[in-house]
Amino acid sequence: MNENVPNHVAIIMDGNGRWAQNRGLKRTKGHQKGAEVLKKISEYVYDKKIKVLSVFAFSTENWKRDKEEIDYLMKLFIKAFKGNFNVIKEKGVKVVFSGLKNKLSKKVIDTMDKMQEETKNNKNGIFNICLNYGGQDEIIEATKKISALVKDNKIDVKDIDKELFSKNLFNDLPPIDLLIRTSGEYRISNFMLWQMAYAELYFTDTLWPDFNEEEFDKALDAFNKRERRFGGVKK
């Protein structure tokens, strides 16, 4: 395959619960398997010289789930972050988190802060973990920051442009080139709305715990077959 490797890949990791239920298991077993898959896929992504990987770990809407499942997920996040951290760190990848810290426990926040601090100078890539995240919330928070700058006379309204707005998001990341969503759902679920303006969308029926390197390559193959015109016309 003649690859044009995307710079920024984002993944909505969907289907953990259904994977478990299809096997007569508790939903938490699906999340555990999903965390193992994320470890393998994240390593594979950086081995392919993709610079930025964003993953949707937990949305602001996920708080509606049962408390038992949420408590398990929060413990799993800490365990998975620590388990995957050394490999990511060795690859020289910078870890960042996007989302709101309210509702997150001190243990989760401390783990996030430690990972960000220890990798802040890494230059080989970025691993963006979206936790307690919503795309609309991100845009609102950026708007609040910019409004405060205008109010304090630090900038003028005419200074507001796409570059300034991007710098005031949770993290100033490059545009998403390829979005992958697993489990057969055909929607973007309030994920990285600003960054996804010109992303190529790839949907697969494969549930996240069954996703593997071969499935990832299928997404890359589909990406390479598309012509990206960014509003222009085919020449």
pLDDT tens, residue by residue, 70-129: 999 999 999 988 877 888 999 999 999 999 999 999 999 999 999 999 999 999 999 999
- Nearest CA among 126, 139, 140, 61 for reference residue 97: 126
The pLDDT of residue 4: 86
Q: Which is higher by pLDDT, 173 or 229?
A: 173
> Residues 6 or more apart from 5 whose CB is under 8 A from it?
48, 49, 50, 220
Q: Is 63 labelled a binding residue?
A: yes
pLDDT of residue 61 exceeding 50, the answer is: yes
Residue 22 appears among annotated catalytic residues: no
Domains of the chain, by residue range, sit at 8-132+175-224
The CATH number of domain 8-132+175-224, selected from 3.40.1180.10, 3.40.50.2020, 3.30.1330.60, 3.40.190.10? 3.40.1180.10
Consult the annotation and say whether 126 binds a ligand: no
User: Choosing from 14, 84, 132, 177, which is the catalytic residue?
Assistant: 14
Phi, psi torsion values for 178, nearest 5 degrees: -140, 125
Listed in sequence order, the residues at least 6 apart from 169 whose beta carbon sits closer than 8 Å to its beta carbon are 98, 138, 139, 141, 142, 194, 195
Q: What does the mean pLDDT of the chain come to? A: 95
Question: Which tens digits make up the pLDDT trace of 158-207?
Answer: 999 999 999 999 999 999 999 999 999 999 999 999 999 999 999 999 99
54 with 222: CB under 8 angstroms? no
Q: Was 189 annotated as part of a binding site?
A: yes
Specify the 3-state DSSP secondary structure of 175.
coil
Would you place residue 231 in the very low, low, confident or very high pLDDT band (cuts 50, 70, 90)?
Answer: low
Find the DSSP H helices in the chain. 16-22, 27-47, 67-90, 106-119, 135-151, 162-167, 213-224
Whether residue 168 lies in the annotated active site: no
Helix, coil or strand: residue 194? coil
pLDDT score at 82: 81
Residue 61 annotated as part of some ligand binding site: yes
Q: Which of 62, 122, 190, 224 is catalytic?
A: 62
The CA–CA distances, whole Å, from 207 to 4, 30, 52, 201 equal 26, 10, 23, 17
What is the spatial distance between Cα 94 and Cα 116, in angstroms, rounded to a whole number? 7
